[in-house]
Structures are given as C-alpha cells and as structure tokens.
Amino acid sequence: MNRFFITFILALAILVFFSYRAHAAVEMDYVYDGDTVKIIDGKQVYKLRLTHIDAPERNQTYGKKSRRALIKLCTGAIIKVNIVGTDKYQRKLGSLSCNEQDVASFMVQHGHAWFNDRYSSDIALALKERAAREKKLGLWQDNKPIAPWVWRRLNKQQRAS
C-alpha cells in the first residue's frame, strides 16, 4: 500500500472517532414543552427550539401531554442536534433526533404538535399532521384544538387587559 492511502485511512478513522465522540456528549437536560428543550453539548448549554413544528404550551390544553411524549421519546436516548439558526429569543433553532428518530416527525405523526406551515414547507410533515387529524390522535381528539400561536395571542391579550 502506498503512504497516501494509509494516511487517508488513518485521517478518516480519526475523523469518524471524533465525530462520534461529539455526538455522544450531547445530552437533553430539560424539556420545556413539546418543541423546546435544554441541550448540553460538551461545555455548551443552550435552549433548542425545534423547527417545523409548534407544540401546545405547557399551560395550554394538551401541553403537559405533549411535553411528556417528548420526555418519553428521548429519555435515555442517543441525542443528535442539527442547528440551523437562532431566533429572536436567542434560542438555537434546529432539529433533534433521539435514537435516530426525528423528534418533529414523531411529535406531528402522533398528534403531539402542529406542523408549522408558517415557517416550513415540509410536505411529509403536513401529510403526517393530516393523518393524525383523521385518526384523531393526541391533541386531535379534541374537536376544535386551539393552535399554540392562537393560544399565545389570546393569552397575551388577556394579560394586557
């Protein structure tokens, strides 16, 4: 074998090793609600807001159930995060997977969150929400569930008056 090939294989093995170690260090420390968690990634600690979905707020109908579904899915799991940006509240925006299961997809498919078509054009998630609605899964058991963005607006107005 030539030296270049051996060096290439060695460099690739080191890259894979450090990549795995970086993922292995990620922990989900706290679940705020069905779409926001606290992540510890090495020495970095941050709040992660999941993209593509909007889950009920904790004080909203079905909010605690949505939160518990996320906790159950990710407790003891291998956590992976993909950050795509930061929002106006300085939360990281991105995706989360627990044991290779995409959390946003799981939450929508089981009726624990809305597909957020205002900020996403993910057709697969839109179809999963439609199927969850038709099967009356999770929050869709309610005849007229209140979307989180509507609930937040209504509660903001009530506090102001």
DSSP state of 37: E
Residues pairing with 30 in the sheet: 38
Distance from C-alpha of 150 to C-alpha of 161, rounded to nearest angstrom: 17
Predicted pLDDT of residue 2: 72
Predicted pLDDT of residue 148: 96
Helices and strands, number each (H, E), in the chain: 5, 8
Distance from C-alpha of 54 to C-alpha of 140, rounded to nearest angstrom: 14
pLDDT means per 10 residues, the chain with 161 residues, are 61 55 73 97 96 96 97 97 96 97 98 94 96 98 95 77 49
Distance from C-alpha of 144 to C-alpha of 50, rounded to nearest angstrom: 24
Structure tokens that stand for 32 in this block: 């705020």
Question: In the chain, what's the furthest Cα-to-Cα distance?
Answer: 77
pTM for the structure as a whole: 0.82
Structure tokens that stand for 84 in this block: 């795509």
